[in-house]
Homo-oligomer: A and B are copies of this chain.
Amino acid sequence: MNTIGYIFRLTTFGESHGAAIGGVIDGCPSQLKLDFDFIDKELDRRKTAQTSTASQRKEPDRIEWLSGLLDGVTLGTPIAFMVRNEDCKPADYEALKDVYRPSHADFTYEQKYGLRDWRGGGRASARTTLPIVVAGAIAKQILKGKGIQIVAEVTEMGDAEQAKNEGDTVGGIVECRIISAPAGLGEPMFGKFSAELAHALFSLPAVKGFEIGDGFALAKMKGSEANDTFINKAGRITTPTNHSGGIQGGISNGNDIVFRVAFKPIPSIAKPQKTVNRAGDPCEIAIEGRHDVCALPRAVVLVEALAAMVTVDMERLAR
């Protein structure tokens, strides 16, 4: 369950403060000359500290490539990579070892596994999304060769500066657009393009909503308002409106695939909160330290990455 994809598949591993975070990409086409600069740029987009909304943690994120490449060209064999967790200060987290932080995964992981890596969120840390950026960057490179682009942006976000002063955090919405994907991608029934996107996006921490096209707004429309009529535009059948978000019956119709993802506020807040510890005793915590006020700026590249991975997979299955 730490693997995503059918043909283009990513398996990730790593805890926030274990030895390393990394992934194995299986099913990447051979003979692709990887654009390492682009991968680094994508990683920079995820990196901390670049804006006032993000935390101060320094993550050099230097990728070590372990396999699957010969002189920077893909061999068709698994591409393994990792980033060492250099900035490891478990002592910072000692105080939280026995406390269940509200709306974190501390309690649920312990319920599931009987133990958890309490150092910085362990496997549930946002840091574990790093391999997704790497796989997404490679997926984007594959898509580029097919003329397909992925572009996301923050379309809604709370007032981060104010929240910061209050020791609070904010959530928001990221909108993503898959541009120039051909019609006919996606599988009917249980492999719908929309379903695969929803599944992938809900893999990100803090995601609590996903909608495609006009999404929840469609629930308030009439059929005559919601339908996308077909026209013949210079010999190409298309729809001038795009309430459907480019997907009909689970399959792409050639229009932009447009979806939105809702992120809850980061649960680590400096404001004091009541909670309980492992023994069930009430206690109060104030989560100090290097934490973002808002995950949204970092999340944009993650949303794009997962969209790219799903698109590569759908394209591959449609052959």
Binding site for B on A (CB under 8 A): 1-4, 7, 9, 11-15, 18-22, 24, 26-27, 30-31, 64-70, 73, 75-80, 82, 100, 102-105, 107-109, 111-117, 122-124, 128, 156, 158, 163, 166, 168-173, 182-192, 194-196, 198-203, 205, 207-216, 218-232, 235, 237, 239, 243-245, 247-254, 262-269, 271, 273-276, 280-282, 317-319
Contacts and interface: CB of A to CB of B under 8 A. Distances in A.
Contact of A112 (B116, B184, B202): B184
Given A78-B2, A109-B249, A196-B199, A266 B223 contact: yes
Contact of A14 (B4, B80, B317): B80
A31 B113 contact: yes
- Please give the count of copies of this chain that the complex contains: 4
- Among A7, A163, A212, A218, the most chain B Cβ lie within 10 Å of the Cβ of A218
A246 B203 CA distance: 16
B173 A66 contact: no
A171 B253 contact: no
Given A4-B190, A212-B209, A232-B282, A66 B13 contact: yes
26 contacts: A2-B191, A13-B79, A14-B67, A21-B67, A75-B122, A75-B123, A100-B230, A103-B227, A104-B248, A107-B230, A108-B183, A108-B184, A108-B252, A158-B219, A166-B222, A171-B226, A195-B200, A199-B199, A208-B215, A218-B263, A218-B264, A222-B265, A223-B268, A224-B273, A227-B269, A244-B264
A123 B216 CA distance: 25
